[in-house]
Structure 1
């Protein structure tokens, strides 16, 4: 059993409540943060660990400490080099659409057939108890089998919460999304720690890791592009989408945000990567470029974004400062102006 789980349930609840009070978040959010840290450490200890890359919003909070937003999911990419050089799959070069499709199939087979089993083994080695690892094979309402060539591939780690179900506002499971199509650069090593470790290092001494993580400059641009592409839909998603606006606001004044606004080469590389590997039918990738990009929700969905921000994000996921929605949108207007000034070589 891990050093943290060696403590009695009452002792763990007491420590979690202390951390939750410090951060003004729910008790079970602190518990889930511990499980996120555990799962990250185990993932990067698997045989493909050195080809994995931690990305997305959770990396901004846990890896770079740049946002004060609780993130439930783990976004991971697995370098195509792993499939080409280690598994000896020549189509991993992705020189055409047919090879990309073959890679997506091979990646799903590997992740569900090998990686999920290795994740379970690594968690056992760490002495972790009270969990199950499950592959996601069905999705949608009503649930239907997921296409063999779908990317990303999802693994769930379901855990036994120490809080009664009636008190839990957050699901007791970690969703791991693993993509074989993401860019691999730029990245840096980051130290990952649980919130419990930060306050009680002597009680949770095993739950730290140093893992390869996407740089915030790239994540900043990717979030703006994701919103711009989503808003090209006739009926764009709104549930939990306002988190990207919050993240952009938090990043725009940092050195990473300012650096990315002056890096036309990185901007172009990201757009063309998305065009080549994702080629979503509803997206005009030319509109991702600075002269046309628009990540501000239009009037017909603005109310839904406001509701999502004020009820889901501010009340449930953001700890620390959260700007009023009107001020947030003024900031986005300024940021959009800055994006329009980016020079593409």
Structure 2
């Protein structure tokens, strides 16, 4: 992959253009997908990060499990908080501690994670990138000014066919509020590598990632929380993607694996009660018999508009929001039996 990363921009653009033509998708998506995979390869081939990072979220559903047809441009990474010193008396999972003490630990954990991101993590990754890309060759790496848990990699864009909603940067979202189980090792490839393996040599990207069934229950509980969101609280931007992802997973193997492991749902709920405590989330109802996936009627209009905005990121013909609601209703009934 490094050969492509440093090749002449015109040749790189031609590679992305030919891949885009074969797949009938935008060239900018192919280019960004290459750099997402390249960054993942740097992360999971660096021994300094071994055991400290876990790949999860929508991009893992797309690239590893092929469970969704949505192009997910972000890299969602969990940082093992125990490696930052949060174990023993500093472990927020301790039983019989007050909410005040737990929240204090979680606050310190976030501060320490941000210190790690802006210090050691950024330094190591920057050094690794410079060894391949050189210094000052149209790329940059920085912590986001808007969110200290986000690192932005501005890649050296070769394609001139840009998309308004898809900037030439890879977004790395890092946080400590995730569990590392169950996980496994996988290998993924960029779209360009899949179509032109003789050009994109050394294109297998090894990653350590959360299993699909865990991500299924993580997303299902997001939808459950959204059902209970108070009317005066606005749904976060781009949240329709979670409804789409769950509806798509309901069609495949991941759902069967998840439904066969109801104990994992209980583990996810317990974890969220600890790390994402909320007075209105109703985690106590996030179980068979009372789980909610279909959004209330007063939320559907905003979610449908958000889904339409996301349609350009879906390969092929995007499903209607009505189809998503119908699929979620069936899944909700299936879980609650």
TM-score where L is the length of structure 1? 0.86
Decide which of 270, 291, 294 is 1:293's aligned counterpart.
Answer: 291
Residue deviations 1:41-77, cap 9 Å, x none?
Answer: 1222151232211000000111222222101111010
In the alignment, structure 1 segments of 5+ residues that lack a partner are 140-145, 147-152
Structure 1 stretch 96-105 or stretch 28-37: which is displaced more? 96-105
Partners of 1:56 and 1:39 in 2: CA distance: 16
Question: Residues 166 and 115 from structure 1, CA distance in 2 versus in 1: closer, same or farther, beyond 3 angstroms?
Answer: closer
Partners of 2:90 and 2:190 in 1: CA distance: 35
- Where 1:38 maps in the other structure, the secondary structure is helix
Partners of 2:199 and 2:6 in 1: CA distance: 9
Partners of 1:49 and 1:132 in 2: CA distance: 24
In structure 2, the residue matched to 1:32 is: 32
In structure 2, the residue matched to 1:8 is: 8
Decide which of 301, 309, 312 is 2:309's aligned counterpart.
Answer: 312
In structure 1, the residue matched to 2:169 is: 173
Partners of 1:93 and 1:205 in 2: CA distance: 43
Partners of 1:8 and 1:93 in 2: CA distance: 49
In the alignment, structure 2 segments of 5+ residues that lack a partner are none
Give aligned pairs, total: 324
Partners of 2:146 and 2:165 in 1: CA distance: 24
In structure 2, the residue matched to 1:55 is: 56
| Residues 1:102 and 2:103 are matched in the alignment | no
CA contact (8 A) 2:226 2:295 kept: no
| Residues 1:203 and 2:207 are matched in the alignment | no
- Where 2:5 maps in the other structure, the secondary structure is coil
- Where 2:140 maps in the other structure, the secondary structure is strand
Cα RMSD (Å): 2.3
Decide which of 232, 243, 249 is 1:251's aligned counterpart.
Answer: 249
| Residues 1:159 and 2:165 are matched in the alignment | no
In structure 1, the residue matched to 2:78 is: 77
Partners of 1:89 and 1:218 in 2: CA distance: 23
CA contact (8 A) 1:3 1:206 kept: no
Partners of 1:313 and 1:228 in 2: CA distance: 21
Superposition deviation, residue 89 in structure 1: 6.8
